[in-house]
Amino acid sequence: MAKSVLGIIGGSGFYNLPGIENPHWEKVSTPWGDPSDEILFAEVDGLPFRFLPRHGRGHRVSPTHINYRANIDAMKRAGVTDLVSISACGSLKDQYAPGHFVLVDQFIDRTFAREKSFFGDGCVAHVSMAHPVSPLLVDAIEQAAKAEDIDYTKGGTYLVMEGPQFSTRAESFLYRNWGCDVIGMTNMPEAKLAREAEICYATVAMVTDYDCWHEEVAHVDVAAVIAVMKDNTLKAQRLVHRLAAQFPREHQACPLGSDTALDVAIITAPEARAPALMAKLDAVAGRVLGKV
């Protein structure tokens, strides 16, 4: 059984994690270009830990221009087995007030300007995204949230919009009518790429605002988001520390097969695969390239 390596991708407001052991930043090169930043290598209670600020330290990279493929590839190269996305989001339901955390289990991808797969011309693969988060990882996050007395809901749908602008009211009402729970700009294609890289993935969506649908609450703006974000970040730091302290030191096989997703995904015959693409897939698909 493989050793667990816990990875965290921190979103808006979540750029560091105080109190970790043996921290050092390392540049991790990938064939897909540069990640958003260096990766912080550290330990928490002896558990190997990797942290990547999704927008870069100082929030330099917009949601559309994040190199999602490089970020996930870099985390894979850093040994991550289980990856938690910490993401600021807007609420599409009354009961999810600013400060509430949602452990989402579904996504609707409305992005259109991003590279969404490691595969393509030269090697085609189709991974299942029916269940996009790994249940054991979500369960571990829930246990940590309970232990830290954080207000949360388990389950929910995250609408991923392109951005960087916030929604129109018409869009906000549309997404509410679709039954979505929260809205953000970053978890796709991140979740899809994590599945292709056979990394177990889960999301903690931290509510900062009510988007623009709520009749009794001011429409979302950056100042309002930042005010809530500071408190959310402190809670998220507590959550991550608790998660790491309680996390299994041996990686547990995902019951949905997140960590073996490529076993039945690659459709291109071995003799037809493009060598250049195969070389780029060394980290993402190295486990199966010699066996399919």
- List the beta bridge partners of residue 48: 43
Q: Is 54 annotated as a binding residue?
A: yes
Question: Which residue among 82, 181, 209, 259 is the active-site one?
Answer: 209
What token pair was written down for 157? 């749908």
Q: Is 4 annotated as a binding residue?
A: no
Q: How many CA atoms lie within 13 A of 43 on its CB side?
A: 6
- How many other β-carbons are positioned within 10 Å of the β-carbon of residue 3? 12
What token pair was written down for 15? 């750029």
- List the beta bridge partners of residue 201: 83
Question: Which residue among 181, 211, 259, 263 is the active-site one?
Answer: 211
- The alpha carbon of residue 20 and the mean position of all alpha carbons in its chain are separated, in whole angstroms, by 21
Q: Is 258 annotated as a binding residue?
A: no
Q: Is 223 annotated as a binding residue?
A: no
Contacts (Cβ under 8 Å, ≥6 apart) of 109: 160, 188, 189, 192
Could you give the 3-state DSSP secondary structure of residue 264? helix
Residue type, 139: D
173 neighbors 213 (Cβ within 8 angstroms): yes
Q: Is 206 annotated as a binding residue?
A: no
Q: Is 69 annotated as a binding residue?
A: no
Residue 211: active-site member:
yes
Q: Is 12 annotated as a binding residue?
A: yes
Q: Is 229 annotated as a binding residue?
A: no
* CA separation for the pair 61, 58 (Å, rounded): 9
Residue set of the binding site for phosphate: 12, 54-55, 87-88, 186
Binding site as annotated, residues: 12, 54-55, 87-88, 185-186, 209-211
Residues placed in the known binding site for substrate: 185, 209-211
Active site residues: 209, 211
